Amino acid sequence: MAILSKRLMAQVTAAYQGEYGLRPAFMDLLGTVQSGPDPLSSLSNTRRRRDFALQESGNQGRPYVYNVCPAVCTWVVALEDRRRIHGGLIGGEVLVGNSLDQSIDYMVRYGMPEQEAESYLGRLPRWQTARVEKACRRLQELFYQMSGWKPLLMDENRLRIRQQEQFAKAIEDQKRSGAPALYAFEKERVLLANIRAGDRNEARRILNEMLATIYMSSPRLVVLRARTIELMSCLTRAAIEDNPLLEPLIERNHTWTERLVTAMDFEELSMVLMEALDGFIEGVYLHGSNRSNMKVRQALDLIGRDFAGKISLTKLARSVGLSTSRLSHLVKDYTGRTVLQVVQEARVRHAQHLLEHTGMSCAQIAYDVGFGDQSYFIKHFRRLTGTTPARYRRSLRPSARQ
């Protein structure tokens, strides 16, 4: 834990304690607390359970909640930076039940003196489960916001688990409805329509339904691989038929196909398809179905590449060799949107991607996608999606969906 500065630990502690009244503790990879006292150190199973919680937090990409003893729970956040776990952050302990006699018996059985156990339990606050969930998420958010660390592996694991949950739900829904395990080819067009509209959540839901149908028809890997490759090719072909300007998707499809061919299991196949879906949305939505003017195409390509920077109408017009008034007129005529609206939509779509796939804070995302002010970011995100960035992220969590 020497990699963490005392200043960072103090900042995280002060912010979290100010919001929830709990003092977090930093622990090393062995489950030993490195900051402040550790009242649970006398329990013989403490380090083993913390070690397990740390591993599970990394594997799940989110805080791991567990019971210290009956009626008492705590949570651990894995501290990762670029695929390396450096330790964990313990959120504190709270009472979530009434079995205090059982708690004392448990703690005494594992090595804590009875009087010490009674004193310890008497100091704990009593919380509802919903507050525990909020505190977990906030602790993780605070640390990564203040540290600037990049939890790449945790983000990937969280996305993988979300995909598995959505896929399992799609299969269960099909079984419950009694729908036959036949591939619905008409869904390809529905999926493509949502991709073109930039509706990432609805597109992902439909793709999961299609994957569930494919899996139910035959769980054999060789068949699954062939069907997913077929699905990818059909989507590419349908997109190009609608708009010949999307021919670059053919080259991307080759790359995705190569990864599908080498996938070792259905989980990996599904993950590749989800990545391809994101690629489709970025490519198809920006190009749209009306991009038949070369100058408009060049301008929108520049926006697609540089939306996070300082994009001005003057700069775009100079890049494509038109006057500002002419470019503004053409973009409005061919896309139905102003240049500024196209830029804002590109930024919000990328912000949605970061909210789904990373643990970055909303403030970090606002600056990363090109909004210089967080309130300005929230305003346009709500205008285009109907919700705030924070609510959008919460809606993606399994607990929120349930």
Q: Could you state, in chain order, the average pLDDT of each consecutive group of 10 residues for the chain (402 residues)?
A: 75 94 90 85 90 90 92 94 90 89 92 93 92 93 90 82 68 62 59 69 78 75 80 72 61 79 82 77 58 69 82 87 84 79 87 84 88 87 87 67 35
Single-letter residue type at 348? V
Same domain, 51 and 131: yes
Give the pLDDT of residue 2. 46
Same domain, 168 and 285: yes
Neighbour-count burial of 402, counting CB atoms closer than 10 A to its CB (0-12 exposed, 13-18 middle, 19+ buried)? exposed
Which residue range is the domain that position 76 belongs to?
A: 6-150
Whether 156 is in a domain gets the answer yes
Beta pairing partners, 33: 27
Whether 35 is in a domain gets the answer yes
Give the pLDDT of residue 185. 56
Q: Is 0.85 topped by the overall pTM?
A: no
CATH at 124: 3.30.450
Q: Which of 274, 289, 304 marks a domain boundary? A: 289
Give the pLDDT of residue 13. 93
71: left (phi over 0), alpha (psi -120 to 50) or beta: left
388, 378 in Cβ contact below 8 A? yes
Same domain, 306 and 220: no
Q: What is the DSSP letter of 246?
A: G
Give the pLDDT of residue 91. 93
Tokens of 14: 């002060």
Whether 1 is in a domain gets the answer no
From CA 232, how far away is CA 33, in angstroms rounded? Answer: 49
From CA 216, how far away is CA 208, in angstroms rounded? Answer: 12
Same domain, 146 and 10: yes
Same domain, 205 and 93: no
Whether 321 is in a domain gets the answer yes
From CA 168, how far away is CA 137, in angstroms rounded? Answer: 24
Q: Which helix (H) or strand (E) holds 101?
A: helix 100-109
Same domain, 63 and 194: no
Same domain, 92 and 182: no
Same domain, 207 and 87: no
Whether 126 is in a domain gets the answer yes
Neighbour-count burial of 140, counting CB atoms closer than 10 A to its CB (0-12 exposed, 13-18 middle, 19+ buried)? buried
Whether 192 is in a domain gets the answer yes
CATH at 342: 1.10.10.60
Single-letter residue type at 87? G
Q: What is the DSSP letter of 92?
A: E
Give the pLDDT of residue 289. 43
Same domain, 176 and 254: yes
Q: Which of 289, 304, 332 marks a domain boundary? A: 289
Q: How far is CA 51 from the centre of its chain?
A: 24
Whether 29 is in a domain gets the answer yes
Q: Which of 150, 179, 212 marks a domain boundary? A: 150
Same domain, 300 and 283: no
Give the pLDDT of residue 295. 76
Give the pLDDT of residue 282. 66
Whether 21 is in a domain gets the answer yes
Q: What is the DSSP letter of 126?
A: B
Same domain, 133 and 264: no
184, 213 in Cβ contact below 8 A? yes
Give the pLDDT of residue 75. 96
Domains held by the chain: number: 3
366, 377 in Cβ contact below 8 A? yes
242, 188 in Cβ contact below 8 A? no
Same domain, 133 and 176: no
